[in-house]
A = this chain, B = another copy of it.
């Protein structure tokens, strides 16, 4: 502990780089938009350039940093440091990004998917500082989870632990992106909230959501209008209760100290969290609820940056 680390974040729409101290102070932070037509080589060069400039902005060279962490927006083979696939950009299958970054920076480097990184971020810097068992749930366009168990990220047999989003929730529920029916993601994610709103509007429901062109309608619109619009409130309330039920199931299995909810949708505040707590309370074992905290992330919206920094601090050396 002591020297700062370089945090690199490859997200859906942007790259970010920052220099962060082991205490969680952000010394510098830069970001740039990703071009959907970029090759992995383009993106890697852009990310390294962003990293260099972030280091310069913090007044340090790579040689004065301790390590690098990479939060990647898609599944990663953690043991090999290789990308399995990118959810947002083409051509990433099999790219050994961890070793490329390590060679170019001359620094020990750790890489993981964004949900695992953010889970470790909460334990090192956020809502779960110092705790050993934490579930992090990201609710944005999709739903993912990262598990910290016994102080370490739990990745499972083939780096796929945490698939809470594609866990069955509603019998005969809506079709999910994964092809099955009634997954948590199919009723509580950003895309599910948009689908519910579009379906209701198409069916003639009265709602101030009608003022938004149907094609531009986003989950953010629904969350924002949930304070004042009955349809939006009903959709967000149902999504929140389903999320609370999904969380209760995971808590009953894992008995964590903290559940932290991050991702864009989590920023809606009480309009989401009140139904989440309601659904959670209905299905969790009371003994387990008493000994834990259910909270929103403390790192919003810099889950990627702090997640990457946590990987560097805890796993790169």
Contact = CB atoms under 8 A, between A and B. Distances in A.
Interface of A: 133, 145, 147, 149-150, 152, 154-164, 166-168, 170-171, 178, 180, 245, 248-250, 252-257, 282-283, 285, 287-288, 291-292
Given A133-B156, A150-B152, A285-B166, A161 B291 contact: no
A257 B155 CA distance: 11
Contact of A150 (B149, B163, B250, B255): B149
Given A283-B168, A283-B180, A285-B163, A157 B256 contact: yes
Q: Is the interface of A mostly helix, strand, loop or mixed?
A: loop
Given A180-B283, A253-B162, A248 B168 contact: yes
A163 B255 contact: yes
A129 B287 CA distance: 32
10 contacts: A133-B157, A157-B292, A158-B287, A160-B287, A163-B255, A164-B252, A167-B253, A168-B245, A171-B171, A178-B285
A128 to B, nearest CB: 11
B161 A254 contact: yes
Contacts of A255: 155-163
Contacts of A254: 147, 154, 156, 161, 253
Contact of A164 (B157, B180, B253): B253
- Sorted nearest first, the 8 A-B pairs with minimum C-beta distance are A156-B255, A161-B255, A163-B252, A157-B257, A168-B283, A167-B252, A160-B255, A158-B291
Given A149-B154, A154-B150, A245-B168, A285 B253 contact: no
Interface centre among A145, A149, A180, A253, by most B CB within 10 Å? A253
Contacts of A163: 252-253, 255, 285, 288
